Structure 1
Amino acid sequence: MHNLIIIGAGTAGMSAYKEALKHTHNIRLINDGAWDTTCARVGCMPSKILVSTANRLHNANHADRVGLNLQIESDTSRVMTHVQALRDRFTRSVIRDVDSWNPEHKISGQAKFINANTIKVNGEQLQAKAFILAVGSTPRFDQDDQKALGDRLISSDDIFELPDLPKRLAVIGSGAIAIELSQAMHNLGVEVTTFARSRHVGILSSDNLQNIAQAHISQNLNILFETLPTSVSLDGDEVVIDYQDQQGQPQTIRIDYVLSAIGRNSLLSTLDLHKVDASFTDVKKLPIHDDTKQLGDYPMFVVGDAFSKNPIQHIASFTGKHVVSNALNYPQVEALPKLSPLAIVFSNPQMAIAGQSKKELERKNIDFITGFQSFENQGRARTLGKNFGGIEVYIERSSQRLLGAELFMDSAEHLAHMLSWMIAEQVTLEDILDCPYYHPTLEEGLRSALKHARRQFRELG
């Protein structure tokens, strides 16, 4: 019997394997598919390569914002080749690491449970004292659309394999992935139509920032809020989409591909978990303890995108590493350490949440003050020609500690990191205002939001 079996060799599984090796070599790592990560192959890295290229072209096309009159002749024929070449470089780095591991520990195949201590893979039964389930997720599709469109319906797992940029693209969804790819494709000259079930874009929970983001994004991107296709069909090599506009009038567009970005489904459904417990038939209702990642009372622990409210690379890596202690010490399990929350969308401008979101604080009935600053007239943002968006900071009324922040602004990724670190240190409003703010910088916009919060505290006495 093995001390530990890890199922899935993505970010979380790899992190768990490296940590487990510090304690035992009586271990197996089972993986069904490529021995690399979703992030490197079809997620974080190729999407950010595409976004970076698109942003470079977008900035050049809007150089008039900084007093330049540029005559741009862009050739985007090499964009997908560039994305794939750099993506392959990242995946090769991951695979080189995997190739250095003990080959006896690695098994390629699909695992299925027979009982709580036994799995079957490639016709062989393996037993372990504990399991870490890091099987990841797969893109969600509308089944009827998939039957109607075949390979003309693609996901974020497929789009980076296209040999060339499409001429016309429809995107279904308005979450983080949908907005990133919609804007990137549009900025690269693709004719993009984005269908959004609601009016919500990206990750922002603040109504104020949502309104700002929706207004700004829709200025350039053809995003159809509260609108979904009524039918899709193929006409030769073209996809025909019918829908009703906001006035209820029928509309039709013809495009090359439909990109489905409506979320992902857990691959826990492939493991036959019902053979462990008859109640484990619906993976969405599995009793996974949020603090320990334990599945029920069994020696099984779930990490990564397989079951996560925050399917983010650094969280998968962190929890994969720290869950090993619970797996090896079962039945004694402890709450895993927690990272200060941090989420970023590489939209244009970027969205970010550091610490707790506004919606989360309201749901917990926490008494807090909101400080806001628009970036429309912020000094450094205006000099950059990127004076749009805004920032909110959330300060606890009783302690005046910074609890969270939401951002929609240029380069939000950097300011969000700093805010997340500050929140982890439990700094107060005055602590942050006492820090230096170089002039002129975007950080001065943060100071303005903090000062707005301080004025409210003084008015409250």
Structure 2
Amino acid sequence: MPPLPLKQAEEVGEYDLFVIGGGSGGLGAARRASGQYGAKVGLAEASYRLGGTCVNVGCVPKKVMWYTSEVASALRKAASYGFGDDATNYKIAESFDWHKLKEKRDAYIHRLNGIYDRNLANDKVDYHEGFASFIDKNTLNIKQHDGTSYQVKAKKIVVAVGGQPTVPTDEEIPGASLGINSDGFFDIEQQPKRVAVVGAGYIAVELAGIFNGLGSETHLLIRYDSVLRTFDPILSDTLVPWAEKEGLNIHKQTNVKKVEKTASGSLLVHLDSSDKPLEVDVLVWAIGRNSNIAGVGLDKVGVEVDKKGDIIVDKYQNTNVDGIYAIGDVQGKALLTPVAIAAGRRLSNRLFGGPQYKDEYLSYENIPSVVFSHPTIGSVGLSEPEARKKYGDDKIKIYKTAFRAMQGAMLDEAHKAPTAYKLVTLLPNEQVIGLHIIGEGSDEILQGFAVAVKMGATKKDFDDTVAIHPTSAEELVTMR
């Protein structure tokens, strides 16, 4: 449905719930409140596209690019399985047309935007296109793209404005603005021959893996010796050597000092770990994200934020101001699309679903997450260091294994990707409190095992489950 016309928007009256932000969390809250419980709900989105980060510049188009990189990898392996020859297959992989893929990917995302639009209409949520900011705790100003404004009133307001990539200023790092952020990755029209990605988190790892897999000379610049430092060490310890073997240039213990543009248009990235700058065509900053609260007017109503700029909420997503809530990335923890959706739906259940939902909230324990690296990573629960710190060394028993998946059976040994699994268990009954896997299919494997971990399964429960053979996942129920 199109956004409400100005006259209709001005005459809409008071909403039971109004949501600021048309991303995953905001849509989840709005549609549940209106579609399931019949509340009068409005939603404002400042951009021209519904779906937020995930749909437009995050997990969905990123996964398309990951699949594309996997196709290139499969082509390079095809001769080992009797398809053609290496020279021909490598040439096909190298013929990848970035721009053509981008056009198809963008069209796919555009279709998804339309689906989100229709879903709002089906659930009878009023869609306001404009930037919403607080006037008081029950009143918002909606500024449209043409500069006109109007006000809406609501009994309850949800802030779901999400986050944005963090980028250094030119004052912090001279020339930093010559780079792009992770959102800008999806605007690249032609494949860069040389690229540098700055960061060690999952976004940096994923983007660097995509570039490298598609044949760009790729440099990953990290401040320490490892990537994914918030994950269990087995994951980085397995991934880094393999990524380097696959051609990814990982520059450890390094920081960008300065960025310069050459006469030819390339970039010189000066590092504090080297006298010789890197010359690249594209520099991508992937050093973290921050809440997108600028201009929302939280200060006008006294909503508290922490020193990072994240909105402070309790377990029920309440802010310190009665009737104002925050969900998704703007509250600064577990920055994952399904988390935002689950939090939004549970909030609407609690607000409008009746007495049976009066204590409904989302637990942030044992949230599974994956990294679309090459190979993929899955993780749920506590890492080994976290478990030892929380419970003590004498309470923790570790099971782990490393092997080469059967998917690479026909490949030369040097080209077989690694697989490594770890179970973190809590004594005396060996409850599985952490599960960390890297290897082919780990992203899909994790979902079912995350259910088991969430339910409090023990190592014996795993052992008592008959293995599915031949699979990589069977190693999780046969570990000794």
Q: Same fold (TM over 0.5)?
A: yes
Mean Cα displacement is larger for which, 432-441 or 184-193? 432-441
Within a 5 Å distance, the mapping from 1:77-96 to structure 2 comes to 77-96=96-115
Q: What's the RMSD between the two structures over aligned residues?
A: 2.8
> What are the Cα deviations for residues 329-367 of structure 1, in whole angstroms up to 9, with x where unaligned?
899963514374110001011111023333442343263
Residue aligning to 1:432: 462
Residue aligning to 2:209: 183
> What are the Cα deviations for residues 368-396 of structure 1, in whole angstroms up to 9, with x where unaligned?
211010124x6666557634131100122
Mean Cα displacement is larger for which, 269-278 or 26-35? 269-278
- Counterparts of 1:88 and 1:375, CA distance in 2: 40
Residue aligning to 1:153: 179
Amino acid at match of 1:210: S
> What are the Cα deviations for residues 51-98 of structure 1, in whole angstroms up to 9, with x where unaligned?
111122123324577688522213445233223413422331332341
- Counterparts of 2:235 and 2:182, CA distance in 1: 26
Amino acid at match of 2:75: A
Within a 5 Å distance, the mapping from 1:124-163 to structure 2 comes to 124-144=150-170, 148=175, 150=177, 152-163=178-189
Q: 2:63 matched to 1:44?
A: no
- Counterparts of 1:51 and 1:285, CA distance in 2: 30
> What are the Cα deviations for residues 408-430 of structure 1, in whole angstroms up to 9, with x where unaligned?
21211122112102112322212
Residue aligning to 2:70: 55
Give 1:17 shift: 1.3
Residue aligning to 1:277: 302
- Counterparts of 1:255 and 1:387, CA distance in 2: 28
Q: Are the structure 2 counterparts of residues 413 and 115 from structure 1 closer, same or farther at C-alpha, using a change threshold of 3 Å?
A: same
Amino acid at match of 2:403: F
Within a 5 Å distance, the mapping from 1:17-28 to structure 2 comes to 17-21=30-34, 22-28=36-42
Within a 5 Å distance, the mapping from 1:25-424 to structure 2 comes to 25-37=39-51, 38-62=53-77, 69-71=85-87, 72-74=90-92, 75-99=94-118, 101-102=120-121, 105-122=126-143, 123-144=149-170, 148=175, 150=177, 152-202=178-228, 205-219=231-245, 220-236=247-263, 237-245=265-273, 249-277=274-302, 280=305, 282=307, 284=309, 286-289=311-314, 291-328=315-352, 334-338=359-363, 340-365=366-391, 367-376=395-404, 382=409, 386-424=416-454
Give 1:259 shift: 0.6
- Counterparts of 2:467 and 2:290, CA distance in 1: 44
Give 1:24 shift: 3.2
- Counterparts of 2:434 and 2:452, CA distance in 1: 10
**Where do 5+ consecutive residues of structure 1 fail to align?**
452-461
Q: Is 1:32–1:108's contact at 8 Å kept on the other side of the alignment?
A: yes
Q: Are the structure 2 counterparts of residues 117 and 186 from structure 1 closer, same or farther at C-alpha, using a change threshold of 3 Å?
A: same
Q: Is 1:166–1:257's contact at 8 Å kept on the other side of the alignment?
A: yes
Amino acid at match of 1:445: E
- Counterparts of 2:453 and 2:474, CA distance in 1: 18
Give 1:160 shift: 1.7
Give 1:232 shift: 0.7
**Where do 5+ consecutive residues of structure 2 fail to align?**
1-13, 144-148
Give 1:281 shift: 7.9
SS of equivalent to 1:270: coil
Give 1:322 shift: 1.0
Q: Are the structure 2 counterparts of residues 380 and 283 from structure 1 closer, same or farther at C-alpha, using a change threshold of 3 Å?
A: closer
Residue aligning to 1:459: none
Q: Is 2:176–2:258's contact at 8 Å kept on the other side of the alignment?
A: no
Count of aligned residue pairs for this structure pair? 444
Give 1:326 shift: 3.8
Q: Is 1:404–1:423's contact at 8 Å kept on the other side of the alignment?
A: yes
Mean Cα displacement is larger for which, 99-108 or 405-414? 99-108
- Counterparts of 2:298 and 2:354, CA distance in 1: 19
Q: Are the structure 2 counterparts of residues 437 and 59 from structure 1 closer, same or farther at C-alpha, using a change threshold of 3 Å?
A: same
> What are the Cα deviations for residues 291-327 of structure 1, in whole angstroms up to 9, with x where unaligned?
2111124211111122232111211111111111344
- Counterparts of 1:203 and 1:81, CA distance in 2: 35
Residue aligning to 1:447: 477
- Counterparts of 1:42 and 1:285, CA distance in 2: 21
Q: Are the structure 2 counterparts of residues 264 and 357 from structure 1 closer, same or farther at C-alpha, using a change threshold of 3 Å?
A: same
Mean Cα displacement is larger for which, 167-176 or 100-109? 100-109
Residue aligning to 1:457: none
Q: Is 1:41–1:88's contact at 8 Å kept on the other side of the alignment?
A: no
- Counterparts of 2:407 and 2:477, CA distance in 1: 13
Percent identical among aligned pairs is 21
Q: Is 2:163–2:290's contact at 8 Å kept on the other side of the alignment?
A: yes
- Counterparts of 2:73 and 2:42, CA distance in 1: 47
